[in-house]
Amino acid sequence: MGIVIGPRRLSTLKWLGLVLLFIGLPTGLSVFISFSIPYYLLHNAALANELSFIVPIAVFALSSYAFHNYLRSRSESPPLVRRRFVAAVSLDDDHPIDDEAMRRVEEGLGFVDKDTDEYVKLLAMLGIMNLRSAVARSDRNLYLKAKEYLSMAEEAAGRINVSEETKLLMDKLRLKVEEYKGRFIF
C-alpha cells in the first residue's frame, strides 16, 4: 500500500478530452454566438467584432476556473505534473524513520486538499512514522507529535467521509498510541 502525495495524474488523452469539453467547447460556442447574433441579426459588424473578442475571453476564464475546480475536487492533475509516493510504513518495525523522509511527507501535506481521504490518510501515516521513530529512539516529543497527527486526522475524518482503509489505518495508530502511552507519559 502506498500513499500518493498530491493529485493523481490523468492520461494525456483524458486530459485533452476534458480540456476540450470544459474549455474548448464553451469558448468556441461563445465565439460563434457572440459574432453571429450581432452580425447576422443586428447587421452590426463593429459590435460583432468587439463582442467576439470580449465574450470568449470571459468564457475562457470562467471555464478554465471551472476546469481547475473539477480537477481539484477529484484530486487529479494534468499529465505533466509530477507525483510523489510514500511507501507504506509498518509500526511493527523497530528502526526509526529518517527525519528527512518525515519532513518531505509533512511538506507533501501542502499538495493535498484538506477535504479529501488522501489528506486524512497522510496525517495518519505521519502519525505512524512519528510513533515508530518515537519508539525506536525513546523520544517523547515524537510521541506527542504522533498523538497530534492522530487528533488532526480524527478531526479531518469527522468532516469528510473516509475510506475503510483510512479508518483501519487510524484505528491501528490509535491502538498503538494507547499501547505506548505508559512509556512516554510520566
> pLDDT under 50 in the chain at which residues?
1-4, 85-87
Long-range contacts, stretch 161-166, CB < 8 angstroms, 24+ apart: 161/117, 162/117, 162/120, 162/121, 163/117, 163/121, 165/1, 165/121, 166/117, 166/120, 166/121, 166/124
Residue 82's pLDDT is 59
What is the identity of the amino acid at 175? Answer: L
pLDDT of 98:
81
Domain boundaries, the chain: 3-77, 89-184
User: Burial of 145 by CB count in 10 Å (0-12 exposed, 13-18 middle, 19+ buried)?
Assistant: buried
pLDDT at 1: 42
**What's the confidence (pLDDT) of residue 66?**
94
- CB 153, CB 124: distance < 8 Å: yes
Q: What is the pLDDT of residue 4?
A: 47
**Amino acid, single-letter form, for residue 95:** H
- Other beta carbons within 10 angstroms of residue 46's beta carbon come to 9
CA–CA separation, 96 vs 134, rounded Å? 8
Cβ pair 21, 66 in contact under 8 A: no
Give the per-residue pLDDT at 53: 92
In the chain, alpha helices (H): 12-19, 25-36, 45-73, 99-108, 117-137, 140-159, 164-179, 181-184
Q: What SS3 state is found at 145?
A: helix
Q: How many residues does the chain have?
A: 186
